[in-house]
Amino acid sequence: TTSSITVPEPGPTNSAPTASNVHISNQLTGTGSAITTAYYDENLYAIYDYNDPDGDAESGTQIRWLQGSTTITQHNDLTTLAQSATSIGEFWTMTVTPSDGTDYGSKITSTNTVEIIDYDADGDGYGDASASMDACSSPSGYTDDDEDCDDSRSDVHADATEICDGIDNDCDGDIDDEDSSLEGTSTW
């Protein structure tokens, strides 16, 4: 009698991929630098390096965008977080769980958290969109401390030096294009 036994050779094993250099940038070109602030009208990009020891192509990688500590599921697996999805004052992070289509690697959190900010054209520390705070400010740091935006010399609450800017440079309540009294004047 004869007996035959077939012993299969072990098949190839798959190694899970890894992600490195995980960060958020406002630039898509190159690797983009990690940032801590982004203006409200900028897109955010998930930047990372994908590595697989078997040389497998990336397939099914999970990207999660978090506002504060909450995952915003409507942005799952997007490498770009559109500016329309963010608002001034929010803080964003993201995670990457790399996949080669067979195995998932470890979830990696971005090295940076990004705060969404407003422009501050006059450099006074108040964002341009904060009209109530920024209505009478200037690059030199003078503000309308008494919050009256009154340009008359009879202003009993006049600041030591009242300087204003914006569409109403003399802060008299008239838009400069319609204001003939002090149009273009920033001090009085």
> Average pLDDT for consecutive 10-residue bins of the chain (188 residues)?
87 91 88 90 96 96 97 97 96 98 97 94 72 46 48 43 48 51 45
Check residue 9 and give its pLDDT: 82
At residue 127, the pLDDT reads 76
Q: What pLDDT is recorded for position 30?
A: 65
Residues paired with residue 38 on neighbouring β-strands, in sequence order: 116
Give the HSE-up count for residue 29: Cα atoms under 13 Å, Cβ half-sphere: 0
* Span 63-77, pLDDT tens digits: 999 999 999 999 999
Give the per-residue pLDDT at 163. Answer: 46
pLDDT score, position 139: 42
Question: So what's the pLDDT on residue 171?
Answer: 58
Evaluate whether 108 touches 22 at the Cβ level (below 8 Å): yes
In three-state form (DSSP H/G/I as H, E/B as E, the rest C), the secondary structure along the chain is CCCCCCCCCCCCCCCCCEEEEEEEECCCCCCCCCCCEEECCCCEEEEEEEECCCCCCCECCEEEEEECCEECHHHCCCCEECHHHCCCCCEEEEEEECEECCCECCCEECCCCEEEECCCCCCCCCCCCCHHHHCCECCCCCECCCCCCCCCCCCCCCCCCCECCCCCCCCCCCCHHHCCCCCCCCEC
